[in-house]
Amino acid sequence: MAPDNLVEVTKLRKEFGGLVATDDVDFTIPRGAIIALIGPNGAGKTTFFNQLTGVYKPTSGSIVFDGTEVSDLPPHAITALGVGRTFQNIRLFAQMSAVENVLVGMHCRLRGGIIGSILRTKKVKREEQEARDRARELLVYSGLPRRHDDRAGNLPYGDQRRLEVARALGTDPKLLLLDEPTAGMNPQETAEFTAFVRRVRDDKGLTVLLIEHDMKVVMGVSERITVLDYGAKIAEGTPGEIQSDERVIEAYLGRGAAA
């Protein structure tokens, strides 16, 4: 495996009964890159994400993350290795406060045990305090300067999206997977978010893979784009290449439009 690739996916396949949701996809993510995954509705982008994060077991194929084969691991183990994600339709812990949401994200980085928690030993207490401080920092960093103790479910929509990112950053990831992070945001929020993604990558040395429908975001932020259609990879390249690729235009707009 080339050392500069954080993720190497080979021949990944996922079938739901007769439906081939991922059709022998080969895919690599270079370390430090921002990669976009696009495709028409139902192309299998989120299914691909779910296999990367262990929510679905692939039917066949391999996923190597940072030198470890992860296709058989459960989601929490993959998260512990350094994959953080957000969800297409927000899945915050609505009853928990914003800070607590981020603290859950830090779960696998904290050590506090049962006896220690009951006795509230100095060590556990210090760890909790540090985690809380760091969670608040992450919230501010992600664009949530206030309302840290509000229920996540009570935050406005855009803030919930930001909180999802903060929670994913709480897992201390090497790879950040964003599933349509700007869905439902207004143009200004979208622009801010695009800048934010780049900033996160630079500040924290992350690698980012995002699914996105907003072409402005995709073309603006990503260095390389992969296009899926009916579970198969139909194109891969720089934003410029993708924009003029005939198969991509066909997939999005139909055969006549490509001509």
Q: How far is the CB of 102 from another protein (least distance, A)?
A: 9
Q: Burial level of 184, CB count in 10 A (0-12/13-18/19+)?
A: middle
Pairing of strands 5-16, 232-237: unpaired
With H, G, I as helix, E, B as strand and everything else as coil, classify residue 72: coil
Minimum CB distance to another protein, residue 110 (Å): 5
- For residue 177, which of 187, 168, 186 has the smallest C-alpha distance? 168
The residue within the footprint of another protein, chosen from 105, 222, 235, 251 (CB under 8 A), is 105
Tell me the one-letter amino acid at 53.
T
* 117 part of the interface to another protein, by CB under 8 A: yes
Alpha carbons within 13 angstroms on the beta-carbon side of residue 246 total 4
Q: Contacts with another protein: how many residues (CB under 8 A)?
A: 64
Provide the mask over 154-193, with x wherever binding to another protein is found by CB under 8 A and - wherever it is not.
xxxx--x------xx-xx--------x--xx---------
Listed ranges 28-36, 62-70, 95-103, 186-194: which one lies at the site for another protein (CB under 8 A)? 95-103
Please identify which residue in 20, 64, 104, 232 interacts with another protein, judged by CB under 8 A: 104
Q: Are strands 5-16 and 60-65 parallel, antiparallel or unpaired?
A: antiparallel
In the region spanning residues 31 to 70, those forming contacts with another protein, defined by CB under 8 A, are 41-47, 50, 53-55
Q: Which is closer to another protein, CB of 90 or CB of 258? A: 90
Distance, CA of 175 to CA of 87 (rounded, Å): 15
CB closer to another protein, 119 vs 253:
119
| Three-class SS state of 222 | coil
Residue 118 binds to another protein (criterion: CB under 8 A): yes
Pairing mode of beta strands 224-229, 83-85: unpaired
Extract the tokens encoding 188: 């200004």
Give the interface with another protein as residue ranges (CB under 8 A): 16, 21, 41-47, 50, 53-55, 74-77, 79-80, 85, 87-97, 100, 103-105, 107-110, 112, 114, 117-120, 124, 128, 147, 149-151, 153-157, 160, 167-168, 170-171, 180, 183-184
